[in-house]
C-alpha cells in the first residue's frame, strides 16, 4: 500500500527501501506490543500454556504456566506490516512471505498438538514434521529456481568470484539450508529470550548484506553479486520490530514463549535470507549460536550411541550450563554476546574479498 502511494501520488520518499523498512519496523513493533498482552491473557484463560519436558532441568518446571505460541503474534505482525510496505510484485518478497506462512503453519500444528494433549513430546511426529518442512522448503526453493530465475552460483567468504554453478542441484542445498536453520533455531529456543536476540542480530546482518546485494553501486564496490532482492529488507525489518516487541514480554522471566510457531518460522526465514544474499556458508558465522546448539545435540547423541557416554551434562548446550548451576540470565546474556561478536566478524568479511 505504502509503495503504491509513492507511485500514485509521486511521494518520492516512500520509494526508498530504507524509509519503508523503518516504517515496517515500527508498524510490526507497535502491533506486537498491542496484541501480545491480549494474547497472553487469552492463553492464560484457555490454558494454552507451555508443556515442559520431564527431562528438562528442575528449574524449568515452574514455567509450566507460561503461555506459548507467541510466535503467531509476531509472525502475524510481520506479515501485516510487510503487506503494507513492500512492493508486492517483487518475487523475492513474495517468496519471503511464503516462507513465513508455510513454516508458521507447521509450527502452529505442532504447538496446538502439544497444548491439546498437555505433553511436550506430543506434538507432530518427528517424521511428519520433517516431511512437512521438506515439502515447504521445496516449494520456496522451487519458487526461487523456476519463477524468480534466481542465480544458482555458489559463493564463499573471501572470494569475489563464485566457486561453480550448482544448477538444478541448488534446490538440494537451498532445501537443506532452510530446514537445518529452522530446526537449529527451534533447538535454541529453550531459555527466556535465548533465541530472540541472536535472531534479531542475524536478521540485522542479513538485512545489511541483502541491502548491499540489491544496490548496484554498493554491490559493485564490495565485489558482491547483484540481485533485485532489496525489498526483502523490508520484511526482515518488520520481523526485527516484531521480535523487539516480543522480547519485551519474552525476556527473563518470560511472560510468553514463541513456541514452534515462532522458532521454526524464524529459522526458516533466516535460511531463506542466507540463500538470497548468497551467504549460505556465512550463515555458519551469522547464526553461530544456532550452530553451536545444534552441534551440541549431534555430539551428545552420537557419543551416546557410539560410546554410551555423554559429552555434556545435558543437550542442547544451554542445559549443560544450567546443570552446572549457572544462573539463567548469565547463560542468556553470554550467548547474546557471542551472537553479536560473531555477526560483527561476519560483516567484516564482506570487505575481505
Q: What is the pLDDT of residues 150-193, one digit of tens each?
A: 999 999 988 888 989 999 999 999 999 999 999 999 999 988 89
Model pTM? Answer: 0.94
When pLDDT is cut at 50, 70 and 90, the band that residue 129 belongs to is very high
SS3 of the chain: helix, strand, coil, percent, to 5: 70, 0, 30
- Distance CA(306)–CA(297), nearest Å, equals 14
- Residue 185's pLDDT is what? 97
Report whether pLDDT(287) > 90.
yes
Beta-ladder partners of 164? 154
Q: Residue 188's Cα: distance from chain center in Å?
A: 11
C-alpha cell at 215: 544496490
What phi and psi values does residue 49 have, to the nearest 5 degrees? Answer: -115, 170
Report whether pLDDT(107) > 70.
yes
Q: Does 6 or 348 have the greater pLDDT score?
A: 348
- Residue 116's pLDDT is what? 77
What phi and psi values does residue 154 have, to the nearest 5 degrees? Answer: -100, 120
Report whether pLDDT(34) > 90.
yes
Report whether pLDDT(59) > 70.
no
C-alpha cell at 194: 535465548
- Asked if residues 335 and 198 have their Cβ atoms less than 8 Å apart, the reply is yes
When pLDDT is cut at 50, 70 and 90, the band that residue 268 belongs to is very high
Element (H, E) at 232: helix 232-250
SS3 99: helix
- Residue 44's pLDDT is what? 85
Contacts 24+ apart (CB under 8 A), 126-134: 130/179, 132/106, 133/103, 133/106, 133/178, 133/179, 133/182, 133/183, 133/264, 133/268, 134/175, 134/179
Q: Where are the domains of the chain?
A: 2-286
Report whether pLDDT(221) > 60.
yes
- Residue 177's pLDDT is what? 98
Q: Does 10 or 46 have the greater pLDDT score?
A: 46
- Residue 135's pLDDT is what? 97
- Residue 204's pLDDT is what? 98
pLDDT above 90 as % of the chain: 70
Distances (CA, A) of 123 to 48, 60, 104, 126: 14, 19, 14, 9
- Residue 103's pLDDT is what? 97
Distances (CA, A) of 38 to 29, 33, 41: 15, 9, 5
C-alpha cell at 7: 507511485
Report whether pLDDT(3) > 70.
no
- Residue 353's pLDDT is what? 76
Amino acid at each position: 500500500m505504502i509503495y503504491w502511494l509513492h507511485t500514485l501520488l509521486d511521494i518520492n520518499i516512500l520509494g526508498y527501501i530504507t524509509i519503508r523498512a523503518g516504517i515496517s519496523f515500527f508498524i510490526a513493533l507497535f502491533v506486537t506490543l498491542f496484541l501480545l498482552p491480549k494474547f497472553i491473557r487469552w492463553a492464560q484463560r484457555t490454558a494454552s500454556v507451555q508443556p515442559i519436558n520431564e527431562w528438562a532441568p528442575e528449574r524449568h518446571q515452574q514455567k509450566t504456566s507460561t503461555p506459548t505460541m507467541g510466535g503467531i503474534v509476531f509472525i502475524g505482525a510481520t506479515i501485516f506490516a510487510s503487506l503494507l510496505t513492500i512492493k508486492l510484485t517483487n518475487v523475492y518478497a513474495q517468496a519471503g512471505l511464503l516462507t513465513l506462512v508455510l513454516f508458521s503453519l507447521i509450527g502452529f500444528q505442532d504447538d496446538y498438538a502439544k497444548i491439546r494433549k498437555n505433553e511436550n513430546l506430543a506434538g507432530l511426529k518427528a517424521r511428519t514434521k520433517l516431511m512437512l518442512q521438506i515439502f515447504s522448503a521445496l516449494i520456496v526453493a522451487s519458487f526461487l529456481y523456476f519463477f524468480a530465475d534466481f542465480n544458482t552460483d555458489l559463493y564463499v567468504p573471501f572470494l569475489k568470484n563464485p566457486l561453480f554453478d550448482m544448477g538444478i542441484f541448488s534446490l538440494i542445498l537451498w532445501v537443506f539450508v532452510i530446514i537445518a536453520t529452522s530446526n537449529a533455531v527451534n533447538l535454541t529456543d529453550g531459555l527466556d529470550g535465548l533465541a530472540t536476540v541472536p535472531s534479531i542480530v542475524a536478521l540485522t546482518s542479513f538485512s545489511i548484506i541483502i541491502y548491499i546485494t540489491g544496490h548496484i553501486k554498493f554491490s559493485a564496490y564490495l565485489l558482491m553479486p547483484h540481485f533485485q532482492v532489496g525489498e526483502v529488507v523490508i520484511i526482515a525489518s518488520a520481523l526485527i520490530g516484531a521480535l523487539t516487541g516480543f522480547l519485551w514480554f519474552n525476556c527473563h522471566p518470560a511472560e510468553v514463549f514463541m513456541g514452534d510457531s515462532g522458532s521454526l518460522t524464524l529459522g526458516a526465514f533466516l535460511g531463506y535470507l542466507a540463500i538470497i544474499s548468497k551467504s549460505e556458508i556465512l550463515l555458519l558465522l551469522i547464526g553461530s549460536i544456532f550452530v553451536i546448539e545444534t552441534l551440541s545435540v549431534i555430539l551428545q547423541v552420537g557419543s551416546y550411541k557410539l560410546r554410551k557416554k555423554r559429552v555434556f551434562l545435558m543437550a542442547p548446550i544451554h542445559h549443560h550450563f544450567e546443570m552446572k548451576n549457572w544462573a539463567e540470565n548469565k547463560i542468556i546474556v553470554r550467548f547474546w554476546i557471542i551472537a553479536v561478536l560473531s555477526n560483527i566478524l561476519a560483516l567484516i568479511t564482506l570487505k575481505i574479498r
